[in-house]
Amino acid sequence: MTRSLRPVPADALRAALRPHAAGVVVVTAAGERGPAGLTATSFTPVSLTPPLVSFYIGQSASAWHTVRDADYFAVHVLGARQRALATRFATSGIDRFAAPTTWRPGPGGVPLLDGVVTQLVCAQLSTRPIGDHHLVLGTVVAVAHGPDDAGLVHRDGALVPVASSITQAS
């Protein structure tokens, strides 16, 4: 254990976090510049009553200004069959909403992606800067279920499928 109580360097933290597994979602929003979206591994359910969720977005992310200004955002929980979609929405310099992405506008124009495991439509409550990211908080106002699939997580720099349930948690 390093005994220094100074903040650890970025490289040390990055290495320490590699074994942490995180679920993969695509977040979308609509604005004057058109649809915007990103792959995120920071999506977190916060509260059931009221129904709140959050995610972090980098202040340099291409979708940040659209997310910040939009009344709604959508969270798409991805399954193992959506690995290509996760990669597309993490790729810079492309139109992430062009084919083969298929989508349609939902409440307030928020882009809803087809074929994902779960769609959550959220009314944006707040954004708040934390470090070099922003915490975005929303109230879930609509949910829809797509086809069942194995899960998809990001771990150790890779997108990894998660098998179906094996052991019931207590």
Nearer to a copy of itself by C-beta: 100 or 167? 167
Nearer to a copy of itself by C-beta: 16 or 102? 16
Contact 61, 38 (CB under 8 A): yes
77, 85, 113, 136: which one binds a copy of itself (CB under 8 A): 77
- Cβ-proximal residues to 168 (8 Å cutoff; 6+ apart), any chain: none
Site for a copy of itself in 13-72 (CB under 8 A): 13-17, 19-23, 25, 42-52, 54, 56
CB atoms within 10 A of CB 45: 12
Q: Is 6 exposed, middle or buried (0-12, 13-18, 19+ CB in 10 A)?
A: exposed
How many residues bind to a copy of itself according to rule CB under 8 A?
86
CA distance 125 to 105: 20
Nearer to a copy of itself by C-beta: 15 or 33? 15
Site for a copy of itself in 3-22 (CB under 8 A): 3-10, 12-17, 19-22
